[in-house]
Amino acid sequence: MSFGTAPTVPTALQVYNSYLIDPEWQTKFSIIWASCLGAAIVFASPYLLKSIRNGRAFAGFFGISEDFEGRGKYESVDRTRKKTSKRSPTIRRIEGVLSVIRSVGLWSPPGLSLNFGQLFVVLAYLIIVLICIIMGSQLVSNSNRAGFMALAQLPVVFLFGTKNSIVSLLLGPGNGYEKLNYIHRWSGRTLFLGAVVHGSLWIRNHLQYNIQIIGAQKETSGVAALGVLSGIVLTSFKPVRRLFWDFFWVVHVLGYVAFFITICYHSIYAIPWIFPPLAFYAADIFMRMIRVRIKDAGLTAVDSNMTVIRVSDCDSNWIAGQHVRLRVFFSGRVLESHPLTIMNAPSDITCLASSSSTESGRGIILGARVTGDWTRALNTYAEMEGNALLAKDALWVPVQVMLDGPYGGCSIDLGEYETGRKKGEKTRRIEFVWCLRSYGAIHWFSSLLIPIANLVAESPDLDLHISIYVTCLCNPASVPTIPNSDTGNRKILLDLTTPPRKIACCCASSSNDEEDVQCTFPRDSEACAVLAEASTKLQWAGLGGGVAVLTREASNAVAKLSLLRGVELGGVGLHTEVFSS
């Protein structure tokens, strides 16, 4: 005998089951951010495929390698220009329009460390998290939703926080951990936000109903987890990182271990969210082990503010502009590693040639400016040992170093500008801008700049100009002579988009110009007018490195130029790298 189906409780009268509903929002959030990341990877796939074809995509993936056969000798590019088909004006215009759209994201508001593109990503991320926390939840009476969403941040925090992330590889060169770290920071802050909302409302309810807070395992472990997370956040502020980096690093690593343990005691629902971060971190450690190299190196103290490190037998699997984490085995400071940018190019593309193995390309050159205890101790050691070795005519202080890397790199394929392009275009104008605190600092790298400038001066097809800006009138008599360099003030980007005026000759036009232009007389207005028209048919690339203020101004200047003349110039590329001050 059947009595029909059982009656159902109306939705309005149903008790909110957070352990059934809230995990669904974790899944929804994970699908959303994974879909957005997938869309970004698909959008970047043409750039990745292009990088795979030219060999830049996996440069340094397995660490720096040595050429035991002694190959990799630099050869100059054939200057013979061949007539090839012109690139379609429509394609150039499309590239220019896309460059203008991208340039909007380069703008950096004053006082913020993020540009508009990064701000858009952060705001979209925060909005998605807040919607997932608030929509359909009963936070005041049951704050579990915020706790569940805090757990859902853990994969994002570790995916964008490790140095060897799969995301960096899939997005292509120039998207290293240092470029994606802002997502790590802000996802960590949303993790803390969710934990604070969950914990504070939970404590409020216990106080309201006079329920014991400390005592039971769930409550005690929850308070402990929130306390550990608060300690991690408080020690992650920029002043703490800058002044007490070692303390920050130790608290960061040990704090997350303690947080994982306490959160697993707090809730069984936290355990599945621990495994992805552990997998990301284990993969990062494994890749670091593969990339580590121990090499012989030489130190020299250029002055009391700069130490140059030359690491021998590093021939390939790195590109100029990448950086390594360096440990120098000296004075018992073997546990400290610091990131230093590689200043020279590999042996097969560098134009530096001498009997020295490093200057001929068989090695990497690093510069460590004195800014803290480690760099000061390194400079002092190099100076003292160097003075002791002068009697033996030794120029370099021998040491052993450990290299971890390379990481990062330039987001612009400079190979297209270094060696010519498939349709015959060639780099015709290079403006090197250097901002220093004193004239004496020019000696830091003058031994590298002078041979490059001399080599370019012999080329009729390339114009290199070096602009040096000094903020302190200190020791002006020590300025070395570098061809085609000055310290005058002018608007660099506007000058770059005008034809160069070289005494011997101006630049040769690319093969896709309307006609071959050879400006023999720099005052010839008619010839230079044609050259000016030709100069608007090449893409422009901007590279900037320095403290945050300088890179922000460079980014804003390129964004303005791209908005005004991006379509005309066919696009303006930009890569910046922020150095510690």
Residue 188 tokens, joined: 């960590």
CA distance 441 to 396: 20
What's the pTM value of the predicted model, to 2 decimals? Answer: 0.81
Q: What is the strand order of the sheet 293-303 is part of?
A: 338-341, 323-328, 397-407, 293-303, 306-312, 363-369
Q: Is the pLDDT reported for residue 499 higher than 60?
A: no
Q: 463 lies in which domain range?
A: 415-538
pLDDT of residue 458: 82
> Residue 350: exposed, middle, or buried by beta-carbon count in 10 A (0-12, 13-18, 19+)?
middle
Q: Indicate which CATH number applies to the domain containing 119.
A: 1.20.120
> For 460-478, what is the mean pLDDT?
74
Question: Given pLDDT bands bounded at 50, 70 and 90, which one contains residue 469?
Answer: confident
- Evaluate whether residue 301 is within a structural domain: yes
Contact 96/568 with Cβ under 8 angstroms? yes
Tell me the C-alpha distance between 564 and 566, whole Å.
6
pLDDT higher than 60, residue 521: no
Which of 497, 447, 496, 444 minimizes the C-alpha distance to 467? Answer: 496
* Whether residues 320 and 432 fall in one domain: no
The answer to the question of residue 571 being in a domain is no
CA–CA–CA angle 166, 167, 169 (5° rounding):
65
Q: What is the pLDDT of residues 412-445, one digit of tens each?
A: 776 666 555 555 667 777 888 887 777 778 888 8
User: By the 8 A CB rule, do 221 and 266 touch?
Assistant: yes
Q: List the CATH number of the domain containing 390.
A: 2.40.30.10
The DSSP secondary structure of 76-121, one letter per residue, reads: PPP------PPPPHHHHHHHHHHHHHHHHTT---TT-SS-HHHHHH
Type of residue numbered 370: V
Count Cβ atoms within 10 A of the Cβ of residue 66 and give its class: 0-12 exposed, 13-18 middle, 19 or more buried: middle
Q: In terms of domains, do 132 and 270 share one? A: yes
Residues 387 and 427 in one domain: no
Average pLDDT over residues 7-14: 63
pLDDT of residue 526 exceeding 60, the answer is no
Q: Nearest CA to 292 among 207, 402, 368?
A: 402
Angle value at C-alpha 430, between 425 and 432, nearest 5 degrees: 160
Residues 326 and 265 in one domain: no
| pLDDT above 50: residue 517 | no
- In a domain, residue 184? The reply is yes
Predicted local distance difference test score (pLDDT) of residue 477: 61
User: What does 309-350 look like in DSSP terms, one character per residue?
Assistant: EEEES--BS--TT-EEEEEE--TT-TT--EEEEB-S--TTT-
Q: How far apart are CA 141 and CA 198, in angstroms?
A: 11
Q: Max CA-CA distance within the chain? A: 110
Instruction: Tell me, yes or no, whether 50 lies in a domain.
Output: no
Q: Let me know whether 113 and 256 are in one domain.
A: yes
CB atoms within 10 A of CB 437: 11
User: What confidence score (pLDDT) does residue 320 get?
Assistant: 78
CA-nearest of 362, 314, 316, 310 to 340 is 310
**Nearest by Cα to 432 from 419, 421, 445:** 445
Shared-domain flag, residues 240 and 146: yes
What is the mean predicted confidence (pLDDT) over 137-155? 94
Out of 253, 288, 323, a domain closes at 288
| pLDDT higher at 311 or 81 | 311
Residue 75 has pLDDT above 60, yes or no: no
Are 298 and 363 in a shared domain? yes
Which pLDDT does position 39 carry in this prediction? 96
Q: Which residue has the tokens 């352990």?
A: 19
The pLDDT, as a whole number, for residue 430 is 82
Chosen domain end from 373, 391, 407: 407
Same domain, yes or no, for 183 and 298?
no
363 Cβ contact list (under 8 Å, min separation 6): 310, 311, 312, 313, 314, 315, 357
Residues 231 and 355 in one domain: no
- Among 233, 265, 288, the domain boundary falls at 288
Find the range with the poorest average confidence among 22-31, 211-220, 221-230, 274-283: 211-220
Mean pLDDT in residue range 359-382: 85
| Helix axes of 116-134 and 18-54: crossing angle, nearest 10 degrees | 160
Please report whether residue 84 resides in a domain: no
**What CA–CA distances, in Å, run from 337 to 63, 133, 330, 401?**
17, 40, 12, 10
How high is the mean pLDDT of the chain? 79
- Mean per-residue pLDDT for 242-246? 87
Asked whether residue 22 falls in the same domain as residue 163, the answer is yes
Question: Same domain, yes or no, for 282 and 352?
Answer: no
Rounded to the nearest 5 degrees, what angle is found at the Cα of 52, between the Cα atoms of 67 and 85? 110
Is the confidence at residue 546, as pLDDT, over 80?
Answer: no
Does one domain contain both 459 and 400?
no
* DSSP code, position 22: H
Residue 263 CA to residue 270 CA, distance in Å, equals 7
CA atoms of 203 and 123, how far apart (whole Å): 29
Tally the domains of the chain: 3
> Which structure tokens are listed for 124?
């979209």
Q: How far apart are CA 117 and CA 96, in angstroms?
A: 18
Q: How confident is the model at residue 520 (pLDDT cuts 50, 70, 90)?
A: very low
pLDDT at 529: 43
Strand duo 397-407 + 293-303: pairing: antiparallel
Q: Alpha helix (H) ranges present in 176-294? A: 177-208, 217-234, 238-243, 245-266, 275-291
Q: Specify if 221 maps to a domain.
A: yes
pLDDT tens digits, residue range 13-60?
567 788 899 999 999 999 999 999 999 999 999 889 988 888 888 888
Residue 137 lies in a domain: yes
